[in-house]
Amino acid sequence: MAVITIVGAGMMGSALAFPARENNNEVRIVGTHLDREIIDACIAENKHPKFEKAFPEGISFYQIEELEKALIGTDVVIGGVSSFGVDWFSDTVLPVIPENVIVLTVTKGLLDTPDGKLLTYPEVWQKKLDAIGKKLSLNAIGGPCTSYELVAHDQTEVAFCGNDIETLKYLKKLMQTDYYHISVTTDVIGIESAVALKNGYALGIALTIGLNQKKFGIDSELHFNSQAAIFGQAVKEMYKLLDYQGAATLENIAVGYGDLYVTVYGGRTRLVGILLGRGLNIDEAKAELNGVTLESLVVAERVARAVKVAAGKGILDAKDFPLLLHTDEIIIEKAPVNIPWEDFTFIKEV
């Protein structure tokens, strides 16, 4: 048994409390400054407001002002913030975590640099730790997993990645259940890149749902040919980007494509893609989804920016990324959806 403190009371961070507590670990959930009402509800009802199922008994809940109290005796900190909380987690949480505590994050995303490189969040956080002279073991979770299905104990396959295999095996022992299955790997860049890239591409696939609703009616039956066509293009582009990251292994590809699949079928990325496909511009879509964080937009913008820089250097060919670059046009230039189908042919003519 270990003491596991989850920082961030969003849906995914809170969902991880289920396997953690069901494995007889002591579990503490600390809300961010944005989670006050969620923590109040959890204290009152032992239930997250977005979940139908109550938490396992024995979990403790804390407001952000009680963070240091919640960290006393902690063996593992799970970072449950969204990609919009990366800087906050870096500045507020990492500095107060006791030395040599293991950190496991579910935050997915990439940062682009002026020279066209893509950095994973563990890389960014490691630079912060190096700057303040602190030693923490940074690890991350990747793979196809929605929070509400994890809470429902649907069979789930994920990967834990980090620099030390023994630490990863320890984390697996703490968290694995008969429904939450964990692979371990030291390929942090590969796993983290794969699960971040899928966000922008899931948005692209969801465009077709909105386009068909616009053409045939909102309540019309789903059309899958168009979704499959863009899924195929997304697969090609993700592969090239993983290769650019030096991480185009079968294992990383499987994790990324699996995560792409599950993201297309639910969640915020699907919603914004559908609205854009119906004809709303990006500002109108954001207004329609007031209060919903849209990480997919940030990922698509950053990756497209990196591709443009790399293409300018002759490292990548912009023609290999028509879906990504059109998605970027929709987000940045508020261009109407006009999917370049002829650029998606599976086999290029010689």
Residues labelled catalytic: 198
Displacement of CA 304 from its chain's centroid (Å): 17
Per residue, what are the HEC states of 56-89?
A: CCCCEEECHHHHHHHCCCCCEEEECCCHHHHHHH
SS3 content of the chain, % helix, strand, coil (to 5): 55, 15, 35
Query: Which of 89-92's residues contact partners 24+ apart within 8 Å by CB, and which partners?
Result: 89/7, 89/8, 89/125, 90/124, 90/125, 90/128, 92/67
Q: Per residue in 158-195, is it b (16+ CB within 10 Å) or e — as a string?
A: bbbbbeeeebbebbeebbeeeebebbbbebbbbbbbbb
Treating both helix axes as pointing N-terminal to C-terminal, what angle do 225-244 and 322-332 enclose, rounded to 10 degrees? 100
Q: At 302, phi and psi to the nearest 5?
A: -65, -45
Contact 114, 96 (CB under 8 A): no
Other residues' Cβ atoms within 10 Å of the Cβ of residue 222: 10
Alpha-carbon distance of 74 to 7, in angstroms, equals: 12
Alpha-carbon distance of 271 to 267, in angstroms, equals: 7
Alpha-carbon distance of 201 to 239, in angstroms, equals: 12
- 206 conformational bin, left if phi > 0, alpha if psi -120 to 50, beta if neither: alpha
Q: At 283, phi and psi to the nearest 5?
A: -65, -40
